[in-house]
Structure 1
């Protein structure tokens, strides 16, 4: 069931081949970081990555965010998010903070 939902997110992405490539790279980064996600967390992350593909491809930047809101997020989660963001072109640097929440919540559940 979850695999079908993920497939739909990828297919509906603005660039499904780039989306799939990014997802595979992120899977490897998660494996290296020893982070395991629930199906719901993975679906949420894939959806966020699909949005990042769209923003990168169409040069749409998120609005700047207050970094202090993320003070309690571990530096490991932020660094991992930064690695993922570096797979893209033309993303706002603050994107890493939003993305880091996915990794932090997965770390906390383990």
Structure 2
């Protein structure tokens, strides 16, 4: 579905609604695994999800991504991100790698609080 055919823009209510719905599914998915993004991480995640939703509608391509940059991402974070990306149509495989960074960073919150490193 090409956005230009539907008169959508990144600020269209439909994009905002889909972004909100997607985030509403992401937080419980993360929470089931003890991953709780802090306020700043939630803002960054919301911004990324909105951009992903827009790319899903617009067909806009991602810039080329070097997947070797994501070698430090845990299999869990990548698997969760792949699950989320599958909820949206027309997204590149690399999208999951970019999203997984948000999950990985939030996952570290739990590790730091368990260790007592605030």
TM > 0.5 fold call: yes
CA–CA distance in 2 between the matches of 1:21 and 1:44? 16
The answer as to whether partners of 1:13 and 1:19 remain within 8 angstroms in 2 is no
Q: TM-score, normalised by structure 1?
A: 0.84
Question: Does residue 111 of structure 2 align to residue 108 of structure 1?
Answer: no
Of the two, which has the highest radius of gyration?
2
RMSD: 1.3
Matched positions, count: 99
Match of 1:108, SS state, is: helix
Distance 1:63 1:30 in 2: 27
Give, in angstroms, the shift of residue 46 of structure 1.
Answer: 0.4
Q: 1:27 to 1:67 in 2, by over 3 A?
A: same
The residue number in structure 1 matching 2:97 is 97
Structure 1 window deviating more from structure 2 (24-33 vs 80-89): it is 24-33
Specify the alignment match of 2:74 in structure 1: 74
Shift of 1:71: 0.6
Q: 5+ unaligned residues in a row in structure 2: which ranges?
A: 1-9, 111-118
Q: Where do 5+ consecutive residues of structure 1 fail to align? A: 1-11
In structure 1, C-alpha distance between the alignment counterparts of 2:88 and 2:64, rounded to whole Å: 18
